[in-house]
Amino acid sequence: MLRYTIKRLISLFISLAVASIVIFAVIEIAPGDPASFMLGMNAQPETLAALRAELGLDVPKVQRYLTWVGGMLSGDFGTSYTYRTPVMDMISDRLWVSLPLALYALVLSTALAFPAGIYAASRRGQAGDIGVMGATQLGVAVPNFWFAMMLVLIFAINLRWFAAGGFVGWDKGLWAGLHALTLPAIALALPQAAILARVMRSSLLDVLGEDFMRTARAKGLTARQALWRHGLRNALIPVLTIIGLQFSFLLAGSIIIEQVFYLPGLGRLVFQSISARDLIVVESVVMLLVFSVITVNFLVDLAYAAVDPRLRSRT
Amino acid sequence: MIRNLIIGGVLSAVFVCAALISFVWTPYDHAALDIANKLKTPNALHLLGTDHFGRDILSMIMVGARTSIAVALVAVGIGMGLGVPLGLWAAARQGTWLDELIMRGNDLVFAFPSLVIAILITAIFGAGAINAIIAIGIFNIPVFARITRGAALSLWRREFILAARVAGKSAARISVEHILPNVTNLLIVQGTIQFSLGILAEAGLSYVGLGAQPPTPSWGRMLADAQTLVSIAPHMALVPGFAIILTVLGLNLMGDGLRDYLDPRLRVARV
C-alpha cells in the first residue's frame, strides 16, 4: 500500500505541475495586455511601464511562473489587477457560495439516486425499473440551466416559494442561505442524479448475480435482507468513485448555474475577471478547480486501493 | 432493444432533416424582425410562436439545429481524428514510455473540468462557433483515445493479429488494416454519445454567450434571450429547451440501441 501511495503521489505532483504550466501558458498567449487594458488606449508609455512593473508583468515569463506557483504553495495567489485586493480573499469569498452549492447538490443527487437505483435494480425488467430508467434517460438529456429556468418559473415566479436569484449571505443564518441555494442545487443535482442512479442500478445488478448473494439467500435471508446486508455494501465501491468524480463536475457546473441565479460564486468571478482581463484571477480560479479535481481523483484512487488490494499491483 | 434504436433514430432524423431543410426553406426569414407580432404564443401563422423581436421561433429552431449539429459533429470529428490514432498508437506500443505518455496526457485532459477550459478558451481567444468547436473537441480526444486503446489491447492478443505479425506486417499496418475495422462499432456507439454531449455543451456555451455569435441563431442563446422573459413568454424558453432535450434524448437512445444492435456483448462504460 505504501509503494502504491508513493507512486500515485508522484503522479499527482507531476499532473499538478503540468496542469499549472498549461494554464499559465494558455493565459500567457492570450491576446491583450492587462496593463494597457486597465489604462485605456491613450495611456502614456511611462505610465504603462510603471504599471507593468507594479503588476510584475515586466519580469521574464519563467520567473513570473515560478513566482505564481511559489505564491500559491504558500497560500498567496497574488493581487487582482482590477480590484487590487488579494486574489485569495476574492476566491475564498466566492468559495463560500460555490462550495456549499456543490456539496448541497452532491447530497441531493445522492439522496435521489440511491433509492432510485436500488428500487430499479430490485425490480429489474418490471414496470418500476423501466420507469426509473426512462426518467434517467430524460434526466441526462435535460440541460441543467434550462431546468433551472423552469424551476424559477414554477417555484419562484408562480408559487413564490423561493427567490428567483441572488444570495442573501450566510450572515442571515444557515436556513436563509440554504433556502437561497435550494433551487440552484436542485438544478445542478438532477443530471448528476440520473447518471448516479444508472451506475447504482448496474453496479447492484452485477453484485446480485454473484455467488455470495445466492449463498445469502440459501442460508435463509429474504431477497430484501440479502440486498441490504450483502448486496449494497459491495455495490457501493464503483458508486463512490462516481460520487468523487461528480464533486468536481458539480463545482465546475455551478459556473453556468450561477449565471442563471445571479449567484456571487466562482463562476461569476471567472466571467467578470475574463471581461476585465484580470488574468491572475482567472488563472488562479482555474488552477484551484483543476487542483480539486486531481486531488479528489487521487483520494478516490487511494480509498479504492485501501478497499480492494487487487488494485494496488495495477498502476 | 431495437425499439430504442428506432425511436432514437427517428428523433435524431427529425432534427437533422430540420437542419438540412433550413438551408433551402424556413417558414420565415429567421432574422426578420416583426415587432408588431412580438411574443406571440404558438398559432396558425407562427407554429411555435414568435420571440421578443417578432422573429419566427420555428425558423430559428431550424437554423439553430444547423449550428448545434455542425458544432457537435466537427467536435466529434476532432476527437475521433486525433483520439483514435493516439489510442491505436498507444496500444501498438503497449507498456512503453510512449503508451504511458499518451495515457497520462489523457488523464491530464480529463482532470480539467471541461466546462471551465471551454470557457477559458472561448473567452480568451474570443467567443464564436469555431472556438466552441475546438473547446468541445479537445475533450473528445481522450475519450476516443481511451476506448480505442482499451479495445485494441485485447485485439492485439488475438490469434489473427499474431498471424498478421508472422506474415511480416508492421505494427502501423496491423493497426489500420486489422485493429481499426474491429473497433469501428465501438467508435460509432461512442461517437453518438459524444455527439449528444457536444450538443449539450454547445447549448451551455452559447447560453453564457461564448458560442455562436449573433446573427447566427443557436438554441443556447435563444434560451439566454428567453430567461428575462420567462414569466411573460414561457414558450420562448420551452421550445428551444424541448428541442435540445429531444435531440439529446434521441441521440442517446440511438447510441443505446446501436450498441445492443451491433454487438450484444459490447458494454461501453456509459456514465
B217 against A168, higher pLDDT: B217
Q: State the total domains in chain B.
A: 1
Give the model confidence (pLDDT) of A265-294 as tens digits. Answer: 888 888 888 777 787 888 888 888 888 888
Looking at this protein, which amino acid is placed at residue A196?
L
- All cell numbers assigned to A201: 442500478
Delineate the domains of chain A, giving CATH numbers in brackets: 2-73 (no CATH), 95-313 (1.10.3720.10)
Nearest CA in chain B to A298: B111
Length of chain B: 271
Calculate the average pLDDT of chain B: 85
Q: What pLDDT, on a 0 to 100 scale, did the predictor assign at position B265?
A: 58
Q: How many CA atoms lie within 13 A of B26 on its CB side?
A: 24
Q: What pLDDT, on a 0 to 100 scale, did the predictor assign at position A32?
A: 66
In a domain, B86, yes or no: yes
Residues near B128 by beta carbon (within 8 Å), at least 6 away in sequence? B122, B211, B212, B213
In a domain, B46, yes or no: no
Mean pLDDT of all residues in B180-203: 90
In a domain, B30, yes or no: no
Looking at this protein, which amino acid is placed at residue B69?
I
Cα distances from B218 to residues A134, A294, B11, B27, in angstroms, run: 27, 33, 19, 17
pLDDT at B258 over 70: yes
Is the preceding peptide bond at B215 cis, omega within 30 degrees of 0? yes
Q: How confident is the model at residue B109 (pLDDT cuts 50, 70, 90)?
A: confident
Å from A144 to nearest chain B CA? 9
Yes or no, beta carbons of B237 and A149 under 8 Å apart: yes
Taking CA A179 as the corner, what is the angle to CA A177 and CA A182, rounded to the nearest 5 degrees? 110
CA-based torsion, A130, A226, A196, A182: positive or negative? positive
Mean pLDDT of all residues in A193-210: 87
Q: Which residues of B touch A (CB under 8 A)?
A: 104, 107-108, 111-117, 119-121, 123-125, 196, 200, 203-204, 207-208, 223, 226-227, 230-231, 234, 237, 240-241, 244-246, 248-249, 252-253, 270-271
Domain that holds residue B89: 2-24+57-270
**Distance separating alpha carbons of residues B142 and B136, to the nearest angstrom:** 12
Yes or no, beta carbons of A157 and B230 under 8 Å apart: yes
**Which residue among B108, B226, B245 places its CB closest to the CB of A141?**
B245
Mean pLDDT of all residues in B139-168: 90
- All cell numbers assigned to A222: 429474504
Yes or no, beta carbons of B115 and A256 under 8 Å apart: yes
Q: What pLDDT, on a 0 to 100 scale, did the predictor assign at position B57?
A: 84
In a domain, B42, yes or no: no
pLDDT at A109 over 90: yes
Indicate which CATH number applies to the domain containing B173.
1.10.3720.10
In a domain, B36, yes or no: no
**Distance separating alpha carbons of residues A194 and A149, to the nearest angstrom:** 19
Q: Are A305 and A312 in contact (CB under 8 A)?
A: yes
CA nearest neighbour of B130 among B196, B190, B224, B205: B205
DSSP code string of A237-258: HHHHHHHHHHHHHHHHHHHHHH
Taking CA B36 as the corner, what is the angle to CA B31 and CA B42, rounded to the nearest 5 degrees? 75
pLDDT at B270 over 60: no
- All cell numbers assigned to A265: 460564486
- Other beta carbons within 10 Å of A85: 12
Residues in chain B with CB shorter than 8 Å from the CB of A27 are: 124
**Distance separating alpha carbons of residues A265 and A249, to the nearest angstrom:** 15
Q: Which residues pair with B50 in a beta bridge?
A: B56
A185 against B126, higher pLDDT: A185
Nearest CA in chain B to A144: B204
In a domain, B142, yes or no: yes
Q: How many CA atoms lie within 13 A of B47 on its CB side?
A: 8
CA nearest neighbour of A135 among A185, A194, A188: A194
3-class DSSP state of A79: strand
Q: What pLDDT, on a 0 to 100 scale, did the predictor assign at position A194?
A: 92
**Distance separating alpha carbons of residues A73 and B245, to the nearest angstrom:** 43
Calculate the average pLDDT of chain A: 83
pLDDT at A314 over 60: no
Residues in chain A with CB shorter than 8 Å from the CB of B237 are: 146, 149-150, 153
Element (H, E) at B104: helix B97-111
Q: How confident is the model at residue A113 (pLDDT cuts 50, 70, 90)?
A: very high
In a domain, B50, yes or no: no
Residues near B217 by beta carbon (within 8 Å), at least 6 away in sequence? B30, B31, B60, B61, B63, B64, B67
Q: Which residues pair with A86 in a beta bridge?
A: A79
Element (H, E) at B129: helix B129-156
In a domain, B52, yes or no: no
**Distance separating alpha carbons of residues B104 and B98, to the nearest angstrom:** 10
Q: How confident is the model at residue B123 (pLDDT cuts 50, 70, 90)?
A: low
Q: How confident is the model at residue A93 (pLDDT cuts 50, 70, 90)?
A: confident
Q: What pLDDT, on a 0 to 100 scale, did the predictor assign at position A313?
A: 61
Q: Which residues pair with B56 in a beta bridge?
A: B50
- All cell numbers assigned to B145: 483515445
Please state, for a pLDDT cut of 70, what percent of chain B lies above it: 96
Maximum Cα interatomic distance, chain B, rounded to a whole number of Å: 76
pLDDT at B44 over 80: no
Yes or no, beta carbons of A293 and B111 under 8 Å apart: yes
Give the burial string for B143-157 (b: 16+ CB within 10 Å, else e): bbbbbbbbbbbebbe
pLDDT at A40 over 60: yes
